[in-house]
Structure 1
């Protein structure tokens, strides 16, 4: 290997930095800001350490423990703000979610109509538990949601107040909850994400066929603080989530298809990514709202939305 090549690689390593930043930006105080400077100073002292039995490049998360972990189910039906309509489907949705996660050998804990402070306290309390004997954590949150027009911040509603959606998972990042570091954290959110309208697009089959072209073990490793997390919302950003009393749904459309598919998979052990893809497909294809024909949300479509930093597959 040439010395010129070694020098080029060394230079590339020294120049490693933020995409979009100038060379060396990460080491200059004036470009970081006070908060980033404090974080960098703390980082000099070392990073948090958590234990794992998983090889860094393993393709699957271990999911053999019983129970697999806690499944926190937060259902909100009544609100102090009278501008927020009651959610009569909350009890039904909580029950089918509880049954689904119980079938998957999680340990469900159901909470109704918590205030903002009670909700935040519960999440913090769970994050401080001993999770060494768990394989995963699941959180299901069902309520109203909205978006702040000023800064596009997404909010969900507790009984008495709003809170940023990120509060649902902020206590379970790797540095705040080392017992769950390297383990999957799954969040399912039934709440509106805005008022936009989605009438969908009619799909038809073409008259003629269209041709289709087919086509080492690490002793230790470091993961990002926000790795191993999946958040699945009932709807796409900016759009509402619907409830229905048709076709056997009797509650939130997203929770219905999610619970149904999770429960059905308990005996077949497929992978989570396939299950959630099926949930997304069924909500998108099988559901269309039926309201007063003069209502802008009549004949609207809904599609769930996933944000994932999972590093491996989950098989039940």
Structure 2
């Protein structure tokens, strides 16, 4: 299948699983030679309609260049015009005018009880934001730096539970078709060395690069990405320096490709006690009895961005473009880790990726992580709020199968 068509299917998987009627469309896909009888039988063996729809979409992505146009034609032939319009808007192709397109909409359930708000159906629309190419195999390299055992002289406690986080991230990104490299207990100079080595590699055959850092953290001077992560010997490496290794200037083979950084470390030493809200706003969740912090405060200052602008006669991208840094906590605050179950952030990041990577883009999933972590409390008092510095230019969908 054309990668453009595959991206359209991935971008609209949630709508397809929700609204597609597989029973009506299977015969058409069989007669047009898109699916084999064995594939149809496997789809029909699923008991639930949603499971049938998932299997159909998954199989469709493996078929040839004519599969997508044939799929649209089958949708129109069976009266599923809203889905056909939704997919066609994302493609720009024009089908033969054998069946006129009707301005139908995908119906959403309307709540009937008194006082319920009116729910308006979603209108199919053209999405002007493109998607990153993410179909290389492997998709890219995922470097995990897991700092657990710290020098007794540096006043930083050992990070019990971090190996659990590392195992989760290693398995998750392998499942997302990344080549995973895990490094344990790196001193601050070794962190910089590993990043330099990663930047020197040829990423031409890859579509993405991921760096995951599990360590103690602190505040640091910056003009783009706040925070710093400690080596096991004590000194810290600024997150901004870490991201710079992979930017468009220093790693040409990753130019225009997404560079993702996931930082499980404190952004400072301040503890967040939260604020009072309506009981309907949250679903309280207590952290473990062995919650620990990943922080030591050093500095709270930050450099301001330069305000001088000059004309540029060349076609270029900004240096930090295509970079996303996801932090386990808001800058300046501590990040919590359960010594028995791992950190709040990684536990929820792993769960959200497992449950939603097949249907949702990365930014949407990170909002799900933010919401989940924000509802947990350490020792029944302290809170945590993850967040991201996002310089991506397109939607990002991981390679994942519907299950």
- Same-fold status (TM-score > 0.5): yes
Cα contact 2:188–2:236 (8 A) shared by 1: yes
1:142 equivalenced with 2:231 (yes/no): no
Cα offset, 1:97, TM superposition: 0.7
CA deviations 1:172-227 (Å, max 9, x no partner) are: 11011010010000001011111223221232269xxxxxxxxxxxxx95211110
Secondary structure at the counterpart of residue 98 of structure 1: helix
Match of 2:155? 83
Query: Which whole-Å CA distance do the structure 2 matches of 1:231 and 1:182 have between them?
Result: 16
Cα contact 1:104–1:262 (8 A) shared by 2: no
Secondary structure at the counterpart of residue 172 of structure 1: coil
Match of 1:305? 387
Match of 2:181? 109
Secondary structure at the counterpart of residue 173 of structure 1: coil
Structure with the greater relative contact order (CA < 8 A, sep ≥ 6): 1 or 2? 1
1:254 equivalenced with 2:345 (yes/no): yes
1:169 equivalenced with 2:251 (yes/no): no
1:270 equivalenced with 2:360 (yes/no): yes
**Which is greater in Rg?**
2
Query: Which whole-Å CA distance do the structure 2 matches of 1:133 and 1:178 have between them?
Result: 13
* Gaps in structure 2 of 5+ consecutive residues: 1-127, 281-313, 399-403
1:277-292 matches, within 5 Å, as 277-285=367-375, 287-290=376-379
Cα contact 2:219–2:331 (8 A) shared by 1: no
Cα offset, 1:243, TM superposition: 1.0
Query: Which whole-Å CA distance do the structure 1 matches of 2:170 and 2:193 have between them?
Result: 21
CA deviations 1:70-102 (Å, max 9, x no partner) are: 011001011113410000112111000111111
Question: Please, what is the CA RMSD of the aligned residues?
Answer: 2.3
- Compute the TM-score of the two structures, normalised by the length of structure 1: 0.69
Deviates more, 1:161-170 or 1:270-279: 161-170
Deviates more, 1:58-67 or 1:273-282: 58-67
Q: 1:222 aligns with which of 291, 316, 341?
A: 316
Cα contact 1:77–1:143 (8 A) shared by 2: yes
1:72 equivalenced with 2:163 (yes/no): no
Cα offset, 1:114, TM superposition: 1.0
Cα contact 1:132–1:179 (8 A) shared by 2: yes
Cα contact 1:280–1:304 (8 A) shared by 2: yes
1:95 equivalenced with 2:167 (yes/no): yes
Secondary structure at the counterpart of residue 245 of structure 2: helix
Cα contact 2:321–2:392 (8 A) shared by 1: yes
Q: Kindly tell me the number of residue pairs found equivalent between the two proteins.
A: 234
Match of 1:244? 338
Secondary structure at the counterpart of residue 157 of structure 2: coil
Cα contact 1:101–1:263 (8 A) shared by 2: no
Q: Which segments of structure 1 move beyond 4 Å, counting only runs of 4 or more? A: none
Cα contact 2:216–2:230 (8 A) shared by 1: yes
Cα contact 1:137–1:185 (8 A) shared by 2: yes
- Compute the TM-score of the two structures, normalised by the length of structure 2: 0.55
1:315 equivalenced with 2:397 (yes/no): yes
Deviates more, 1:165-174 or 1:299-308: 165-174
Query: Which whole-Å CA distance do the structure 1 matches of 2:227 and 2:210 have between them?
Result: 20
Match of 1:158? 231
Query: Which whole-Å CA distance do the structure 1 matches of 2:360 and 2:264 have between them?
Result: 24
Secondary structure at the counterpart of residue 206 of structure 2: coil
Match of 1:62? 133
Secondary structure at the counterpart of residue 392 of structure 2: coil
Cα offset, 1:103, TM superposition: 1.2
